[in-house]
Amino acid sequence: MSEDELDDLLDELDSQGDLETSQQLLTLRTESRRYDKPVTIIEGFDLPDSEVESIASDLKSSVGAGGTVEDGRIEIQGDHRDRLPELLRDRGFDVRA
């Protein structure tokens, strides 16, 4: 197999991954936690935990906040409902806020 054929195959596989991402409907909501501190919760991922962890890390860096991944959902400290939908859509997800 030539290098060009391999690149074409990898591009095709990646495009299928993007399709799977776009078929996932994520929901965004906030909850008040201890001392009435808001936490933004993103649910609906159908991805391996390692990918959810990676997405969480990128999102936390983008908004400058801490957070965690629990039970396949991302929890980010603070109310980021205004910024997170755009960041998730840029990654190919369908988001319902």
What pLDDT score does 96 carry? 85
Strand bridging mode 94-96 / 73-77: unpaired
Cα separation, 24 vs 93, in Å, equals: 6
Contact of 15 with 5, CB cutoff 8 Å: no
User: What confidence tens digit (pLDDT) does each residue in 31-46 have?
Assistant: 998 899 999 999 999 8
Flag whether pLDDT at 59 surpasses 90. Answer: yes
Kindly state the percentage of the chain with pLDDT values over 70: 79
Distances (CA, A) of 59 to 62, 88, 91: 5, 8, 11
